Amino acid sequence: MMRFTERFHHRVIFAVATFMTMAFTSFASIHEGGDVAKGEQLFKANCASCHKITNEVLAAPGLGGIDQRWAGKDALLVKWIQNPQAAAASGDAYIKQLVATNVPLFGWMAGQAVTEAEIKDILTYVKTPPAGAAGGAAPVNNCQTLEELKAEAEKNEESDGFIWFIIIGVILAIIAVSAANIGRSLKNAMNEREGLPMEAEVGYWTSAKAWMWKNKTFVSIIGVFLFCYFAVVGYSTLMDIGVYEGYTPTQPVWFSHSIHVCQNEVDCQYCHSSAAKSKHAGIPSVNVCMNCHKGINKGKITGEKEIAKIYAAIGFDPATKQYIQGYEQKPIEWNKVHNLPDHVYFNHAQHVTVGKIDCKQCHGPVQQYTVGHQATLDEINSQDPADVPGLIKLTKPTLTMGWCIECHNKAQIDLTSSEYYEEMHNRFKASALGQRTIRDIMEDGEVTVREMGGWECGKCHY
Ligand code: HEC
Ligand code: HEC
Ligand code: HEC
Ligand code: HEC
Ligand code: HEC
Ligand code: HEC
């Protein structure tokens, strides 16, 4: 009897335990227990161009708190990520509301080619990102602080201010001169009434001369200062002919690379999408801006002022979140920063895709720039090699022929990096002459761009 109850008890305990584990696994949501590191990689590769892991909007609502919004709907969530329209067809009330608020703004999310296990990794990462991951709140790595960015925005305003300063100065001078005239006319009128002799009509030049004579010291200090100023400016202009390092034209919109690339981790090629496949890197059209700015109408630095210029270009009403019908759209007219002469051929894809050269090797720490500018060698060379793998330090000013040539002399080619080189290598190996060429090239144990013809005039000149 005793033994039976004992056995019975064991069975009950076993049954309860089994039930508990089953219950636990079905309650252990898809937001936990995945591989965070894998999830981070998958998230960056598949989701980060539209979603942040916080509540901030990018080109779609942020995924912060997603575990609560979809609590108890794991299967439906997996379905949503793999095929949003199919998930919407389920008629779920939350999805209905999600679609109603977001699809008019961002369009439908495209179904993602990720497995259920991968989604578990991603959602675990979203819920419990490792410390120091881009939470969006604290600036990532070495981003500029809000204060630094504000100072730059103000500097931008000041350059407009300087023109006003000059205009106001000229207006004041005109007023001063006419006031002097009026003063004299008044004095003459009084003199006339009192029968005194009239004051002679004095030319401006004569009175200016008299004034300058009276203020000799002041005038000579100003004179010496102006002379030195123009001498220095003139000299450096002469020395810099053909060198435009540091060139930073003003731009129609206060666009900040720092805010987009550093704070929000938008990839260079999201905006300069043709850099990897064609000659030009290209400047993004207003439509690219709208992918995100349909949802973001305010910035931390400039408020609504600058983003409003995007809406003015494309005809979008941020109040109704609608495009204005029949609006005459006009592109934002960005001023070109880099400009090689017409006789030079330069190809981005060749360097970015085939040569595997980082944008920052040629354009400097763009993640800290406001508007684009032509990098100086100092900026390029002083970057952290951890930021720019394989950083090659050069000595000639950027965009000069010496710069291209020097890099072609220093940059090594990895012959295994492309089929093109492998093919060439095989052809060389097939003949005695080819084998000698390979020996010559490999004498110093490395293959540079120069040795592959990177110094031939015709490669760079039309
Ligand atoms: C091209 C842009 C884009 C990409 C890439 C993208 N999404 Fe989305 N996602 C959206 C949009 C837009 C919505 C809002 C609903 C809509 O408009 O379809 C959304 C909604 C969601 C939602 C529901 C949000 C909520 O608040 O309930 C989840 C969850 C989600 N996405 C997960 C993912 C995951 C995970 C990935 C990567 C595997 C991903 N998305 C990739 C655009 C994108
Ligand atoms: C080997 C040096 C080099 C690398 C690497 C490089 N660029 Fe350039 N980039 C240049 C030069 C040189 C120009 C000027 C081209 C001209 O005036 O025709 C330029 C021009 C540009 C322009 C102006 C528009 C245009 O297409 O002329 C943009 C934008 C740009 N680069 C972005 C990028 C991005 C993004 C990357 C990385 C994906 C990159 N660059 C990589 C050298 C480089
Ligand atoms: C991938 C998404 C994305 C794209 C594409 C994008 N932006 Fe932004 N933009 C953002 C985010 C995020 C912010 C930061 C909002 C904030 O300050 O909280 C921002 C902020 C801004 C600001 C305000 C800066 C401030 O703090 O005052 C301006 C102006 C701006 N963007 C212009 C542009 C222009 C012009 C384009 C197109 C060339 C563009 N953006 C493309 C995401 C994007
Ligand atoms: C959100 C969109 C966006 C992203 C991301 C972005 N850029 Fe730009 N970029 C622009 C816009 C808009 C301009 C034109 C205005 C200007 O010159 O600042 C520009 C200009 C430039 C220029 C100067 C082009 C010229 O006229 O010669 C260079 C170089 C450049 N970007 C490089 C980069 C690099 C490198 C990255 C990544 C580290 C990057 N950009 C990321 C939008 C972007
Ligand atoms: C930071 C280094 C670097 C700079 C600067 C640079 N290049 Fe290059 N360039 C390379 C590399 C690496 C390759 C080889 C790519 C490959 O594997 O084919 C290359 C290849 C080329 C080729 C093809 C050569 C061939 O044999 O087919 C041309 C043309 C070229 N570059 C033009 C230029 C011009 C023009 C400039 C200056 C405006 C320039 N490059 C600046 C690194 C550089
Ligand atoms: C790797 C690319 C490259 C190669 C190879 C190259 N050049 Fe150049 N060359 C340039 C660039 C870039 C400029 C424009 C420099 C500037 O605007 O300051 C230039 C400018 C010139 C100029 C005009 C001078 C000037 O200051 O504008 C002449 C002439 C010239 N190159 C001749 C040659 C000759 C001859 C060869 C062959 C021995 C050659 N180049 C090979 C890139 C190259």
Say if ligand 6 is within 6 A of residue 321 CB.
no
pLDDT score for 236: 64
pLDDT score for 158: 56
Task: Report the alpha-carbon distance of residue 178 to residue 181 in Å, rounded.
Answer: 5
Task: Report the alpha-carbon distance of residue 227 to residue 357 in Å, rounded.
Answer: 46
Among 341, 355, 352, 349, residue whose Cα is nearest residue 278: 349
Tokens encoding 342: 């017409």
Task: Report the alpha-carbon distance of residue 10 to residue 267 in Å, rounded.
Answer: 59
- Assess whether pLDDT exceeds 60 at residue 14: no
By the 8 A CB rule, do 327 and 315 touch? yes
Tokens encoding 52: 């942040």
Tell me the average pLDDT across 14-35.
64
Tokens encoding 86: 């199919």
Residue 73 Cα to ligand 3 midpoint, Å, equals 33
Q: Which residues of 123-137 are buried (b: 16+ CB within 10 A; e: fewer)?
A: bbbbbebeeeebebe
Task: Report the alpha-carbon distance of residue 107 to residue 100 in Å, rounded.
Answer: 10
Q: Which residues of 234-252 are buried (b: 16+ CB within 10 A; e: fewer)?
A: eeeeeeeeebbbebeeebe
Query: Among 241, 346, 456, 460, which is best to mutate for testing ligand 6, by the most ligand atoms less than 8 A from CB?
Result: 460
Among 308, 313, 249, 320, residue whose Cα is nearest residue 287: 313
Among 337, 267, 305, 266, residue whose Cα is nearest residue 156: 305
By the 8 A CB rule, do 454 and 347 touch? no
- Give the model's confidence band at 137: pLDDT under 50 very low, under 70 low, under 90 confident, else very high: very low
User: In percent, how much of the chain has pLDDT > 90?
Assistant: 34
User: In percent, how much of the chain has pLDDT > 70?
Assistant: 83
Q: What is the largest CA-CA distance in the chain?
A: 145
pLDDT score for 5: 53
Least confident of 129-138, 382-391, 441-450: 129-138
Tell me the average pLDDT across 32-55.
91
pLDDT score for 434: 77
Tell me the average pLDDT across 346-360.
91
pLDDT score for 174: 75
- Assess whether pLDDT exceeds 60 at residue 357: yes
Say if ligand 4 is within 6 A of residue 284 CB.
yes
Tell me the average pLDDT across 178-203.
72
- Report which of residues 41 and 372 the model is more confident about: 41
Task: Report the alpha-carbon distance of residue 27 to residue 454 in Å, rounded.
Answer: 62
Could you give the angle at the alpha carbon of 112 between the alpha carbons of 110 and 116, nearest 5°? 145
- Assess whether pLDDT exceeds 80 at residue 444: no
Average pLDDT, the chain: 82
- Assess whether pLDDT exceeds 90 at residue 117: yes
Task: Report the alpha-carbon distance of residue 233 to residue 337 in Å, rounded.
Answer: 21
- Report which of residues 365 and 164 the model is more confident about: 365
Residues 6+ apart with CB under 8 A from 36: 121, 124, 125, 128, 129, 130
Residues 6+ apart with CB under 8 A from 356: 414, 417
pLDDT digits 0-9 by tens, 303-322: 999 999 999 999 999 888 88
By the 8 A CB rule, do 331 and 285 touch? yes
Tokens encoding 417: 């990096």
Query: Among 401, 404, 408, 459, which is best to mutate for testing ligand 6, by the most ligand atoms less than 8 A from CB?
Result: 401
Task: Report the alpha-carbon distance of residue 255 to residue 373 in Å, rounded.
Answer: 12
- Assess whether pLDDT exceeds 70 at residue 368: yes
Residue 398 Cα to ligand 6 midpoint, Å, equals 13
Among 445, 341, 449, residue whose Cα is nearest residue 394: 449
Say if ligand 4 is within 6 A of residue 88 CB.
no
Task: Report the alpha-carbon distance of residue 322 to residue 311 in Å, rounded.
Answer: 10
Tokens encoding 41: 């990689």
By the 8 A CB rule, do 224 and 216 touch? no
- Assess whether pLDDT exceeds 60 at residue 419: yes
Query: Among 357, 461, 462, which is best to mutate for testing ligand 6, by the most ligand atoms less than 8 A from CB?
Result: 461
Select the highest-mean-pLDDT range: 13-27, 203-217, 221-235, 287-301.
287-301
pLDDT score for 2: 47
- Assess whether pLDDT exceeds 90 at residue 83: yes
